[in-house]
Amino acid sequence: MISKRVIKALYKKYSKPPKSPVSLNLDEFMAICGELYQVVLTDDTITFSQMSNDNPFRTILLRNIYGIEKFEYHMALVSSSYILFFNRDEVDVTVHFKPESTNWIKRFYDWCKYRLMRKDNS
């Protein structure tokens, strides 16, 4: 199982797009997951034929992939706003969406609003 700390580290490690798609190490991803997920790779897209046609992650632009990470049981495709975890043994994809970050002013406003609402209901 991949922990929250590992996910946070992936977003931090791959916070910027690579200089070129060559540095993504797509060959290793294709070797591990290509046949299982019936991956079709073109110059600018990667398509997972095993996924249904209405799946929004069926075809991904290569420019949206910031990094690829290999784990013991999974391969991860990291984007700026989500991570796709591909099971290496069976067809199973898990998606993690990056939580929207809020600045401290917004958090303080929400906290004050919550306290006022709680006080009014008492």
For 59-86, give the DSSP string.
EEEGGG--EEEE-SSEEEEE-SSEEEEE
Question: Does residue 122 carry a pLDDT above 70?
Answer: no
% of the chain exceeding 90 in pLDDT: 72
* Best CA proximity match to 76, nearest among 66, 65, 86: 86
User: What is the average pLDDT across 9-33?
Assistant: 92
pLDDT at 118 over 80: no
How many residues appear in the chain? 122
- The pLDDT of residue 96 is 95
Average pLDDT over every residue of 8-16: 95
pLDDT at 68: 96
Q: Quick check: pTM over 0.85?
A: no
Measure the CA dihedral 26/98/64/58, to 10°.
Answer: 70
CB atoms within 10 A of CB 40: 12
Q: State the average pLDDT for the chain.
A: 90
Domain count, the chain: 1
Domain, as residue range, for 114: 4-121
C-alpha angle 67-7-38 in degrees, rounded to nearest 5: 50
pLDDT at residue number 113: 80
Residue 68 CB-density burial (10 A; 0-12 exposed, 13-18 middle, 19+ buried): buried
Extract the tokens encoding 83: 């991570």
